Structure 1
């Protein structure tokens, strides 16, 4: 049929200019995607551009896929429209022969349409213009967190620990009991946020401020002058005492620093509260004597320049780590999601920028940026370069809703969007979408009432407001109950009528039970044709989702978690790791047992002993061996398929489990491992390492949403999800459940300065915390807006009278306060379609003084929760009743004692400093470190023949080349997985440690431990942990005893005799900046004093020493050899010798008995 196609064209397109940049602002449910797809067709038809000239960008793969599908379908629908001879009326596209051919070409070449996520587009440009961007042609995507960790550890070893510019600050960090893991986490948090770090650290200015303060606080009579001035200024007496106390603390701190100030000690020792308190209580406007005025001004200078140790290391260490990270990735051709942005921005601002910008402008005539409220400053600068500065030849459309900017924690910056909006709308207002097509008219009116700016306390504050009330785009849309009556759009559930304060447990349990009861009623007939999958329950945290799920399970209601986080923190991930470790090592019986207990084999624990020593022909063993063969061949597709199907796992889950959650997770994890294997050259050991890293949280899969669990079923089920995950979705009925509990505190304050610059303020003062809190509140308001506007027909909101708030009330108070202003006029509330109800169990007429426990008991926790709790209590009691003796060790006791900052293990307390006293390098930068190397050294020390060292007569090189020594070193390194190239270095440490002369505690000198009269290596001991009623080391005769607290077990590295006394030695491979005895004494006191006394008690028990006389005659020295600092020509370097008095050892034993030293060590 000949004729013209007329296709309906939305009115909104008339408001969108085609010749200049435009901001299109939507609201929830106003058809943003609908507008984008129609604008795309409009530009194709009216501007005669090709499909590859229209750039469409959004933020997630799901959104990009939806846009691609909808635009393609839109073109197909237009082309499928029957031509007619005349215009049917209304606004239409008129599509003649030429326009139809143009659309057909667009459809034919649709796969070329640049509809991408922002990140993938940026990376695509970098790859396509590799010469202009200065990048390799082939690059690999990596997890940014694991790459940062690798760069951090490398920087720690090679720069932070051995460069005098950084090492003192690293020492200060560790001396405060902070760990290297905490340092990594702090640096990564700053790296990921891409913000300026405040307060700026000026080392010279801060040191000068402390020096000036020291000079003033040492003035005679200053405390008395401050006290007199305080009284004269009518300051309260207790306040004056507090001011004087802080002055005295400053005086002590600065006196202790000595003449030459150690800035690190001052920073760590100073409490910023001292300064702030004095400045607050002593304002400049008062009348102060000259000494006090000078003191206040000096404090002001300290306050102005003071930075905590956390802030210092962030500013000093982070640039060094980032430089190494960038070099590492550039060399290896690696990139992460952030690099996709940075690389393109660098190219657009680099030397080759003109050619690149010209190429991009010639290709992309128009760009539509969806969800533009989530852009950050770097992304906006890219769009500016390509489009905004093109002189009008390239047009940019920003499409978004600032009220839905909820991803600040991911780096999105709504302030960047607001600035961009001001730039593009300098001479025109944004085009606003004001008709809601999602919800009923009554619910839209309720939204307008809740979020509108009318009244003294509107919901939205600041620069983002709800200025435009929405109209209903589908007036015919109604939702009725089974009787055909319209339902109320909003139900407010009033909580707390029977308690004085609404605490979080009460809130969650009462509300959770009420939701379950209400949903059952709604499905049974409360709303016509309502199905379980028409219902959302929205939470602030995933833990809240698991809590409400228990109530749904109790009520027999089907539910599913939508995009639940923590795929690798599930039991399924542990099961796969246990299995694959056994496949990697099929002859390791302990790994076999763990694998056989997983659901892949399902061997009951009470039958495991019967599986000991099974032959290779047994089906359990044979299956592991068959899988091992597949793994050796790297045939991972067949391996993982066999694991799923031949194990019978699928059948067991489908037939015997209520949910498919477990099966979905197993398949998801194996799929991700297969994807990792496909990157090339991966062994099973590599996949096991990747899986272990993901489980431990030190790595995440590189792909988008790599840790998100997939939906386990397509059956009808109530959807439980966080408010963040609900963005872009909709449901007929929505319940808000979470957000009442307080959010965790943060030492980092994120906010924007008045200039608009985004900053991260570390350990800020009250005003900085206030700024950060205001921005957090604004984002929480936007999150609550997103959550509530998911509803199409009905919304359930809890309401708590503000006077019943608990002290820890969280972000829900922001919406609750708005509801409180509305409920004061109940009649008006009902006229607007909102109803107040009391949910089940929230008001029973009991006393308002009733405590939370009683109320929650009446709420009736789910049977599952009760059973789990009872089973857990019963199991704990049985375990305690039938437990064997507790065996503890120094390593375990040290980990639970106060002040231990190092990682787990004797040699794991790595102080990665490489500079000794005077700046001399103690070891090459590439020397090995860590617990594995320490174990290798211990193994060699245990087996070395001392006589061979004596016979070497000082020729260390000849000894190191001898067959036996080299064999011992290489074998020990291989057993610990350390490269054999380090054998020479290992033997050097052994030689230096054994041949160095040592001055012992009694003043005598042993010319080298190899010269000892007698030696015993790896002396094992086991003795009862000291407790009341048990004979101590000062008692020689033991009667029959009852052991209640267990045993202490350990190994003395080396015991030797010299001059008639027994000494013991412990080898340490710690890497320190200074191995002088003076410096070692502090390190020893912090980390090894506990160990030395435990070992000394063991030695006394082994030698049956029970009196002070015997102790003086037979016990010599405790010798700690820090082998990296020892050398035959270096005197006592690397050696720490001690010998506690007998009375000190008895006191130590009493502390162990009372438990004051290691509270909780044996729990």
Structure 2
């Protein structure tokens, strides 16, 4: 492993408060506590000549960025609480807190420090703790001249209706005038504008997408004609050499079990039948792939593989298919992005993604560095929480502002093992890029949340394999220590201390594994039975959490079951219900309008709307809404 990738254990009291630094914080290692501790040091100007920031900062100068409103509120509350505790400690001159106590010892003027913290506590409502989109919105508004942004943009949270209008407009402009045959081909790809929007919707905003296929360079009619000509040429070549192909394959070293005397003529006949028909659509015979040159080579374990110009032509057609879909999607994305941007510009609207793209574009075009200089002046230090969920555009913004600025601070805090937001653009390769670019790496090495047994179990699982992660050079597993009191915490069942981690293996019946459905049913039943056993034992005082000499009964709310899919969740919920145990599926994505309660409310409203309708009235009276 390169020295560049070695992470130093982070010490909150000596951590340098300047430069670009990456902090890897596994779950439960005190990430928020560390952020609040560094925040305190920045407020008080704490540190040695090598570690302190150039000046004391106010709460309005320390930028803290995270990714949800809930996380923002939690961070604000936690930092406010730390400031309050530190202020009381400086007022009283005593503290046992591992961070505040050293501050008391190293800052001689307690009265001045208490005054700084009191002022910070009063100003916490103005603290620069934002979501990424909140930060971008403020920068665009406050620096309208430098960013070229409007002063009076209207912020919209849902641009789905506008996307629908834009794609419908694109559909009318490009498809309504097509001849019947070509229009039918398009309708086979997308039955409606809504279907097209489903394929391209996520690419219409945000950073410009990189298209693997060039968009249409000519008319759709011309592309269709060129495709038909290409398929015709393939058919003509096949017809010309069809009589030679069986002998070429039979006389080669190709596996004769794959290309048998019975199947080979049938496959050739199927393709020949297709080649004899006039080309009217993009349909290709299923067996054409059997004559792909690379497939034939792979099916030749010994001897010479069959080689022919027809096989090369088949390979070219299958590897680079003649189709409308790929160029059309590229064209639709490119055109609809422009139409969407124009529509929002006319209305003065900005979406979440627009905030990022506009600030990034403004920074890219800021040749004199005026905008980035103003942002650094306003926020000399930035702490990016949950950095593993950053996308390329977000990282580009902060790296251009703070990289190569050693007097400022850019602290990126996250855990690549918890990168779970790929569906909304988060990119683990962005984290890897940052890890390679930033040479100062730190880690939090103590888990303060879990028991000693759980920490040891997780360490063992990930230390045992040679390659626990795919990108081991960039995402390494660093074992963590348990907290001093973690060894005293455990859970017990029937007077026996239970292991932190247990694997269940469903035994095979008659030497054969269970089918998937039967396996899932069996595991759901076993899980519910075990939960019932634990809760029953808890009621009898035989199942409890132990924390030193204290015992706490295990309750249903202490138990969570993780599932991969909604169907698995329903199986567990049903199995628990059969045991008389109520449960809540926290990832339920079913529409509220499909529930029985919604149907009852609809019946009630229908009866109110049409009181003369006796059937509607009776249905409402029979619903669960009325006692």
Distance 1:402 1:409, change over 3 A: same
User: Residues of 1 paired with 2:91 and 2:417: CA distance?
Assistant: 42
1:1076-1110, CA deviations, whole angstroms, 9 ceiling, x for partnerless residues? xxxxxxxxxxxxxxxxxxxxxxxxxxxxxxxxxxx
- The answer on whether the counterparts of 1:143 and 1:336 sit within 8 Å (CA) in structure 2 is yes
1:258-283, CA deviations, whole angstroms, 9 ceiling, x for partnerless residues? 6xxx7xx3xx2236873475223333
User: Residues of 2 paired with 1:354 and 1:28: CA distance?
Assistant: 38
Which of 257, 277, 281 aligns to 2:295? It is 281
Partner SS for 1:21: strand
Partner SS for 2:503: strand
Distance apart, 1:405 and its partner CA: 0.9
1:48-106, CA deviations, whole angstroms, 9 ceiling, x for partnerless residues? 11211111111112111111110011101111125467998976113423322222221
Partner SS for 1:187: helix
Q: Does 1:433 align with 2:433?
A: no
- The answer on whether the counterparts of 1:169 and 1:313 sit within 8 Å (CA) in structure 2 is no
Q: Does 1:34 align with 2:45?
A: no
Which residue does 2:249 correspond to in 1?
230
Distance 1:577 1:153, change over 3 A: farther
Partner SS for 1:30: coil
- The answer on whether the counterparts of 2:58 and 2:120 sit within 8 Å (CA) in structure 1 is yes
1:566-608, CA deviations, whole angstroms, 9 ceiling, x for partnerless residues? 343442445556666777xx35967x965874xxxx4128xxx
Distance 1:552 1:68, change over 3 A: same
User: Residues of 1 paired with 2:139 and 2:602: CA distance?
Assistant: 38
User: Residues of 2 paired with 1:397 and 1:137: CA distance?
Assistant: 32
User: Residues of 1 paired with 2:364 and 2:58: CA distance?
Assistant: 28
- The answer on whether the counterparts of 2:213 and 2:330 sit within 8 Å (CA) in structure 1 is no
Distance apart, 1:114 and its partner CA: 1.3
Distance apart, 1:368 and its partner CA: 0.9
Partner SS for 2:400: helix
Partner SS for 2:479: coil
Distance apart, 1:397 and its partner CA: 1.0
- The answer on whether the counterparts of 1:138 and 1:333 sit within 8 Å (CA) in structure 2 is yes
Greater CA drift, 48-57 or 574-583: 574-583
- The answer on whether the counterparts of 1:272 and 1:303 sit within 8 Å (CA) in structure 2 is no
User: Residues of 2 paired with 1:595 and 1:343: CA distance?
Assistant: 55
Q: Does 1:320 align with 2:299?
A: no
- The answer on whether the counterparts of 1:448 and 1:469 sit within 8 Å (CA) in structure 2 is yes
Distance 1:345 1:548, change over 3 A: same
Q: Does 1:55 align with 2:73?
A: no
Which residue does 1:404 correspond to in 2?
418
Partner SS for 2:410: strand
User: Residues of 2 paired with 1:14 and 1:272: CA distance?
Assistant: 67
User: Residues of 2 paired with 1:321 and 1:387: CA distance?
Assistant: 34
User: Residues of 2 paired with 1:320 and 1:593: CA distance?
Assistant: 52
Q: Does 1:478 align with 2:489?
A: yes
Distance 1:89 1:565, change over 3 A: closer
User: Residues of 2 paired with 1:33 and 1:534: CA distance?
Assistant: 23
Distance apart, 1:202 and its partner CA: 7.5
Partner SS for 1:492: coil
Which residue does 1:638 correspond to in 2?
none
Matches within 5 A, 1:94-109: 94=104, 95=107, 96=109, 97-109=111-123
1:481-537, CA deviations, whole angstroms, 9 ceiling, x for partnerless residues? 377653221222221344632333323332223233322332323224222222212
User: Residues of 2 paired with 1:188 and 1:540: CA distance?
Assistant: 26
Which residue does 2:522 correspond to in 1?
510
Q: Does 1:460 align with 2:490?
A: no
User: Residues of 1 paired with 2:201 and 2:617: CA distance?
Assistant: 35
Which residue does 1:447 correspond to in 2?
458
List gaps (5 residues or longer) in structure 2: 1-8, 46-52, 218-222, 546-551
Distance apart, 1:546 and its partner CA: 3.0
Distance 1:178 1:157, change over 3 A: closer
Distance 1:175 1:494, change over 3 A: closer
User: Residues of 1 paired with 2:453 and 2:383: CA distance?
Assistant: 33
1:978-1019, CA deviations, whole angstroms, 9 ceiling, x for partnerless residues? xxxxxxxxxxxxxxxxxxxxxxxxxxxxxxxxxxxxxxxxxx
Partner SS for 2:413: strand
Largest Rg, 1 or 2:
1
Distance apart, 1:401 and its partner CA: 0.6
Partner SS for 1:13: coil
- The answer on whether the counterparts of 2:83 and 2:121 sit within 8 Å (CA) in structure 1 is yes
Which residue does 2:186 correspond to in 1?
173
User: Residues of 2 paired with 1:358 and 1:196: CA distance?
Assistant: 30
Which residue does 1:527 correspond to in 2?
544
User: Residues of 2 paired with 1:436 and 1:186: CA distance?
Assistant: 43
User: Residues of 2 paired with 1:62 and 1:588: CA distance?
Assistant: 45
Distance apart, 1:249 and its partner CA: 5.6
Q: Does 1:394 align with 2:408?
A: yes
User: Residues of 2 paired with 1:465 and 1:503: CA distance?
Assistant: 36
Which of 169, 174, 184 aligns to 1:154? It is 169
Distance 1:570 1:62, change over 3 A: farther
Distance apart, 1:206 and its partner CA: 6.2
Which of 70, 73, 87 aligns to 2:78? It is 70
Distance apart, 1:341 and its partner CA: 2.0
User: Residues of 2 paired with 1:125 and 1:65: CA distance?
Assistant: 20
User: Residues of 1 paired with 2:266 and 2:363: CA distance?
Assistant: 57
Distance 1:214 1:543, change over 3 A: closer
Distance 1:249 1:484, change over 3 A: closer
Distance 1:230 1:569, change over 3 A: same
List gaps (5 residues or longer) in structure 1: 1-9, 606-647, 657-1163
User: Residues of 2 paired with 1:491 and 1:69: CA distance?
Assistant: 37
- The answer on whether the counterparts of 1:209 and 1:301 sit within 8 Å (CA) in structure 2 is no
Distance 1:175 1:517, change over 3 A: closer
- The answer on whether the counterparts of 2:576 and 2:583 sit within 8 Å (CA) in structure 1 is yes
User: Residues of 2 paired with 1:578 and 1:351: CA distance?
Assistant: 60
Which residue does 1:112 correspond to in 2?
126
Which residue does 2:50 correspond to in 1?
none
User: Residues of 1 paired with 2:584 and 2:95: CA distance?
Assistant: 49
Q: Does 1:187 align with 2:200?
A: yes
Which residue does 1:933 correspond to in 2?
none
Higher relative contact order, chain-length normalized (CA < 8 Å, sep 6+)? 2
Partner SS for 2:12: helix
Which residue does 1:560 correspond to in 2?
584
Distance apart, 1:447 and its partner CA: 0.9
Matches within 5 A, 1:599-638: 602-604=620-622
- The answer on whether the counterparts of 1:144 and 1:337 sit within 8 Å (CA) in structure 2 is no
User: Residues of 2 paired with 1:519 and 1:329: CA distance?
Assistant: 53
- The answer on whether the counterparts of 1:347 and 1:353 sit within 8 Å (CA) in structure 2 is no
Q: Does 1:329 align with 2:380?
A: no
Partner SS for 1:239: coil
RMSD: 3.7
Distance apart, 1:321 and its partner CA: 2.3
Distance apart, 1:180 and its partner CA: 4.8
- The answer on whether the counterparts of 2:289 and 2:295 sit within 8 Å (CA) in structure 1 is no
1:1036-1072, CA deviations, whole angstroms, 9 ceiling, x for partnerless residues? xxxxxxxxxxxxxxxxxxxxxxxxxxxxxxxxxxxxx
1:359-406, CA deviations, whole angstroms, 9 ceiling, x for partnerless residues? 2121111111111111111111111222225x3243211111101112
Q: Does 1:143 align with 2:167?
A: no
User: Residues of 2 paired with 1:293 and 1:19: CA distance?
Assistant: 65
Paired positions, count: 574
Distance apart, 1:30 and its partner CA: 1.2
Distance 1:401 1:393, change over 3 A: same
- The answer on whether the counterparts of 2:156 and 2:349 sit within 8 Å (CA) in structure 1 is yes
- The answer on whether the counterparts of 1:160 and 1:317 sit within 8 Å (CA) in structure 2 is no
- The answer on whether the counterparts of 2:167 and 2:196 sit within 8 Å (CA) in structure 1 is no
User: Residues of 2 paired with 1:320 and 1:31: CA distance?
Assistant: 47
Partner SS for 1:81: helix
Q: Does 1:127 align with 2:141?
A: yes
Distance apart, 1:21 and its partner CA: 0.4
